[in-house]
Amino acid sequence: MPPKRRPGKVVNLKRKRREHPVVEHWTALAGISKNLAGLFKQEQQYTALLQQIAAITDHDAFVKDLPADVPPQTPWLDNFRFSEDTAKQIKSYVEWWVGTLLTDVRDAHQARDEALASLKGADVGDDEALKKSACVLADAEMCVNTMDTTLKKWCKIVRFQQPLDNLPEHTSQWLDRWLKQWEFARNNIETRLAQFKETYTALESIF
């Protein structure tokens, strides 16, 4: 005896229709392609940010003239490929550069202050001494402006507004987050590419 149905309850006895294998494969390819497009767009944004960092830090100009404690570097502006090694290069170089920048900024401000004091103490009756002190001060001011402009650009990139003594630690933490996101995107790209190739191969075998 068939089971009793509750009044008003509709039982759907139809089996869910399954798409043809060709349609299923094309649908899978479309989904993977859409996901890959988003991942590649994200990676291009990371690459554009790296190029911006390379320009501010003069990375490719320094790549052959770095201290021994900074690992060997590959250029960032041409055909850069993200990997575990290049991620370590980015972190070590930027951390070194920020430390060097802060030292240069402090030295520039000190030199400017000394040049200003020298000008104030110059003999007002000695035109040659006044001109020399004024030139030194002008050069010092120009150096300060250059250093401060570079520092402001970097602080804007890493969204830093704290005292400068905290900039190295803040930069290191920012780099860890950014490079972790890039690594996640790159790993997803590799996974999706493998799925794309596998699905495409299966689709080819049907025809």
**pLDDT tens string 150-163:** 999 999 999 999 89
User: What's the structural domain count of the chain?
Assistant: 1
The answer to whether residue 8 is domain-embedded is: no
The mean pLDDT of the chain is 89
* 151 touches 157 (CB < 8 A): no
The answer to whether residue 9 is domain-embedded is: no
The answer to whether residue 207 is domain-embedded is: no
The answer to whether residue 6 is domain-embedded is: no
**Domain that residue 170 falls in:** 21-201
Residue 11 clears pLDDT 60, i.e. is over it? no
The answer to whether residue 206 is domain-embedded is: no
The answer to whether residue 103 is domain-embedded is: yes
Q: What is the pTM of this model?
A: 0.82
The answer to whether residue 58 is domain-embedded is: yes
Predicted confidence band of residue 14 (pLDDT cuts 50, 70, 90)? low
Residue 207 clears pLDDT 80, i.e. is over it? no
The answer to whether residue 152 is domain-embedded is: yes
Contacts of residue 151, defined as CB under 8 A and 6 or more positions apart, other chains included, come to 101, 102, 105, 164
Give, in order, the Cα–Cα distances in Å from 188 to each of 43, 90, 194: 11, 21, 10
**pLDDT tens string 120-146:** 887 777 788 888 999 999 999 999 999
Q: How many helices (H) and strands (E) does the chain have?
A: 5, 0
Among 90, 181, 22, 28, which Cα is nearest to 189's? Answer: 181
